[in-house]
Structure 1
Amino acid sequence: MLLRLFLVSRKVALLSDEPQSILGKPLLFPVQLNHVRFSPVKDQFANRFLMIGIPVGMRARYGNLLAIDDKRSFLAQATCWLTVDGERYLHRGDQDLDMRAKLDRYLLKENEDPSQWPYAYLLTVPRFFWWSRSVVTWWYLYNADRELDAMIMEINNSYDEKRNYFFRVERGENPIPATENGNTTEKQFLDDACTNRSASSQPKSTYYKGTWQKFIFASPFEKVDGAIANRFMDLAHGAPWKPNATLLNTNTLSPQGKVKMVTRITCCGTPLDPAQMGFSDPAQIVLRWTLPGVLTTPYIVLEALRIRWKGLMKMMEKTPVRSGSIGRHPTRAERQLEPFFRAYLAHCVSSSPDPVEVIYIPCRAFSDETIHMRSPPCSTESTSVRTVTIEVLDPPFYTRIANYSTAWEGLSTEMRATGQEADAGSQNIAVSDPELLEKILHGYLCGE
């Protein structure tokens, strides 16, 4: 594997013959993360790791160093040191969809028009021989004028849960100097076949900013509340990169707006083009940046245990995910029991004498589909149909529900607020109209 990395050409080889117009080009970003906590105690640490930026929609391979959306075979991906594949981003799965297709699908689910953002750029931590620890992934979305207009942040916690945040961005106070803007109209081809035409973005500000509410249990020391304020550079900009440039600055705010934590990601030198790297560059990338990133997880665990043992902060119990988040990967038993629960709901609805509709949202760890179940008395012209939405939030719900004496006893118990310190209002299952659901289930039982 080591010899193949050095001896095989790292010249770009496209995996799609379709002509494309993309923004930016693949770049390797050696970065350092500086984390400072101000409240309730003061604490700080720093570590370094490797991030990669790629134009969304590009499918290519750079020898055995980097594979981007390589869907040819498991062996083709396994022989590459660094990989970025669409399967692990946004909604999990959908192996047949590339990054651009997954992005469009996600935006439609958010009731947004994908055509508003014809260009996108991704910043993430690549897989290293199928190992990955990507806490945050950023999607930079650009409008038709090639200006940064919106962002998607994927937050992954240590419990295998994730949440995707979409938000529009605002320009910073400082307009970008004309001397740094460069030739933003020039386009270049990234391959010899002239199929991937790359252009630089056209920023109007030196940085952009955006804020979103934190609805995920990101740390055992933090409640599920407050907000996240972000400030970031435009990564697809064609201007020369400067060492120690701050790519991203993230502030964690309390519900009162007080800054609790600051996370800063700094670029340690000029980003590297994988197609123009020297003979020894891959080894340096692996030893200096990739392997330290692999060791990040045990370091964070030790830091958390140090804080816990010294009694500096209280470690709270994990809560069920909120609506809109994605739970951990389901177990085999949970996958096998979900169809039975779905069939039970469908049978209850089909036996209801009243015009009712049940909107069933399976746990997002299983699927991102939404199922509509309507009783026989319903008609397309009816205006008196009552509707109840049932969303399963916690994957273990499917195994727990089978242990109750009745289905209603289980549902009424699982929909109660947990009262946990980190998120007192969290639930295992969200029901919009409990009374209507009880009537549907009891009507079925009485009919039997």
Structure 2
Amino acid sequence: MILEVNNTFGERRMYLLDGSTPASPPRTSDSEQTSGSEEHGSQIPVRAKSKFTDVWMKDFHVSPFNSRKGSYALKAQNPFPSVDYENPLIDNTITLKSSKDHGKLVARLFSTGKAIDPNQLGSLGTLRFILSWWWVGFVTFPRIVREAGKIFFKRKLHVWFRPEVLTSSVGRPPTSAEITLYKVFRNYLHVLVNQTEVDFCITFKASVPNIPTDKIATTHVPGRNRPYKNIEIRVLTPAFYSRLIHYTYISEAFDRECIFTDERNRTLWLCRPQLLPLLLSECSSIRLKDEDTPPVRRSYLDELRWWLLKKLRCPPADPAYSVTPQDSAVNVDDIRARPFSELDRYVRGYFGQHGFVSGLQR
């Protein structure tokens, strides 16, 4: 059984229940309950009432009134106790416990009627089903907002800011702009690994739907047999691409989005981050040898747009969870000059123009 949890931010977390827990013991008539779907469950032979049970740590943000601490416990009836079973019944109970193992929330979902086979509904049955349930999706979100208002204003519960997803979860869908930025960043990595002094093999996971894991390796040179430095770059959420263009230096983006920040703020994950200085070394020709590449002709309007981009560049929005203590008596200003960023220089250059066009065509 696969359990998928979604939140209102478009993020997902999936859990696998392998059914390895022993089946629930046979029930006697004295111990059986007659509430909800248990009445329907009595139609199934007792020996077939196997259960999926599991406990796992809570590592996914759903409600702003609960932190990412604690654990979930799930108890679910197997809806298909046999392969040829024709009347599947749902009976799932999930319990949320705090980090101190105190029960906070118990939710139960169970069948109240027979399962519906869409292939046997027909046109009239499909229309009747839609007319019976179309309104649920429209009123669900307003109900959530109403109940959240009650909890916040009446109960005064603490609100937890949303952390970024962990590597075990799936980030929100990307916007069209983020997909374009992903293509630019991927092409930039391709050029970068071929212009560093060390041979690299990067496993790049983009967090973009339907995009397979990309292997980016230094082009092999005949007569040069050097071991590859392997590194994995995993984008946890497409928000990384939106934040990336705010940074002047790629190394700073990796530091602030992954290495030197709270785990709850990470939009990127790296294995072997100690290799980054070799990948982003000062010897990279993307930074220092623009004069060796053919010039790129741009119109006055294009140059004006690039100039505005450089002047208007600002740091990305502060993360939800501050890395350093906030002190109202101290005002921190970034007085560094703001030249074109490394990504700007790549896109403006000869390799970037060709790589960007080919990336869009892909």
Q: TM-score, normalised by structure 1?
A: 0.52
- Equivalent of residue 210 in structure 1, options 32, 42, 54: 54
1:153 equivalent to 2:3? Answer yes
Taking the TM superposition and a 5 Å limit, the aligned residue runs for 1:343-362 are 343-362=187-206
1:307 equivalent to 2:151? Answer yes
When the two chains are superposed, the root-mean-square deviation of aligned CA atoms in Å is 3.4
C-alpha separation between the residues in 2 aligned to 1:257 and 1:401? 39
C-alpha separation between the residues in 1 aligned to 2:47 and 2:279? 55
Kept in 2, the 8 Å contact 1:356–1:375? The answer is yes
1:306 Cα deviation (Å)?
1.4
1:171 equivalent to 2:10? Answer no
Kept in 2, the 8 Å contact 1:226–1:252? The answer is yes
The structure where strand makes up a greater share of residues is 1
Q: Which residue of 1 aligns with 2:269?
A: 430
Q: Which residue of 2 aligns with 1:318?
A: 162
Kept in 1, the 8 Å contact 2:69–2:99? The answer is yes
Distance 1:246 1:344, change over 3 A: closer
Distance 1:417 1:236, change over 3 A: farther
- Equivalent of residue 335 in structure 1, options 179, 182, 195: 179
Distance 1:181 1:440, change over 3 A: same
Q: Which residue of 2 aligns with 1:409?
A: 252
Q: Which residue of 2 aligns with 1:391?
A: 234
- Alpha-carbon displacement from aligned partner over 1:93-136 (angstroms, at most 9, x marks no partner): xxxxxxxxxxxxxxxxxxxxxxxxxxxxxxxxxxxxxxxxxxxx
Distance 1:174 1:414, change over 3 A: same
C-alpha separation between the residues in 1 aligned to 2:267 and 2:3? 24
1:214 Cα deviation (Å)?
2.7
Distance 1:349 1:302, change over 3 A: same
C-alpha separation between the residues in 1 aligned to 2:153 and 2:273? 43
C-alpha separation between the residues in 2 aligned to 1:279 and 1:444? 64
Question: What code does the residue aligned with 1:430 have?
Answer: W
C-alpha separation between the residues in 2 aligned to 1:176 and 1:247? 16
The structure where helix makes up a greater share of residues is 2
Question: What code does the residue aligned with 2:278 have?
Answer: K
SS in 2 for 1:337: helix
Distance 1:399 1:208, change over 3 A: closer
1:287 Cα deviation (Å)?
5.6
Distance 1:416 1:311, change over 3 A: farther
- Alpha-carbon displacement from aligned partner over 1:343-375 (angstroms, at most 9, x marks no partner): 111111112222322111112x44452112222
- Alpha-carbon displacement from aligned partner over 1:253-295 (angstroms, at most 9, x marks no partner): 2334332211101322344455777999767745655534542
Consecutive unaligned residues in structure 1, runs of 5 or more: 1-150, 183-201
C-alpha separation between the residues in 2 aligned to 1:299 and 1:413? 37
1:173 Cα deviation (Å)?
2.6
Taking the TM superposition and a 5 Å limit, the aligned residue runs for 1:111-130 are none
> How many residues end up aligned between the 2 structures?
269
C-alpha separation between the residues in 1 aligned to 2:225 and 2:167? 29
- Equivalent of residue 268 in structure 1, options 112, 120, 123: 112
Kept in 1, the 8 Å contact 2:199–2:226? The answer is no
- Equivalent of residue 444 in structure 1, options 254, 261, 284: 284
Distance 1:325 1:240, change over 3 A: closer
Question: What code does the residue aligned with 2:112 have?
Answer: C
- Alpha-carbon displacement from aligned partner over 1:137-172 (angstroms, at most 9, x marks no partner): xxxxxxxxxxxxxx2111110011112222312234
SS in 2 for 1:403: coil
Kept in 1, the 8 Å contact 2:193–2:199? The answer is no
Kept in 1, the 8 Å contact 2:255–2:261? The answer is no
Kept in 1, the 8 Å contact 2:164–2:264? The answer is no
1:255 equivalent to 2:99? Answer yes
1:249 Cα deviation (Å)?
0.4
Kept in 1, the 8 Å contact 2:60–2:169? The answer is yes
SS in 2 for 1:232: strand
1:342 Cα deviation (Å)?
0.6
Question: What code does the residue aligned with 2:276 have?
Answer: L
Kept in 2, the 8 Å contact 1:247–1:267? The answer is yes
C-alpha separation between the residues in 2 aligned to 1:274 and 1:335? 35
Consecutive unaligned residues in structure 2, runs of 5 or more: 29-41, 290-362
Distance 1:321 1:297, change over 3 A: same
Question: What code does the residue aligned with 1:173 have?
Answer: S
Question: What code does the residue aligned with 1:174 have?
Answer: P
C-alpha separation between the residues in 2 aligned to 1:278 and 1:440? 60
Q: Which residue of 2 aligns with 1:228?
A: 72
- Equivalent of residue 375 in structure 1, options 206, 218, 236: 218
Question: What code does the residue aligned with 2:280 have?
Answer: L
Kept in 2, the 8 Å contact 1:417–1:426? The answer is no
C-alpha separation between the residues in 2 aligned to 1:211 and 1:402? 40
C-alpha separation between the residues in 2 aligned to 1:164 and 1:226? 17
Question: What code does the residue aligned with 1:408 have?
Answer: S
Q: TM-score, normalised by structure 2?
A: 0.64
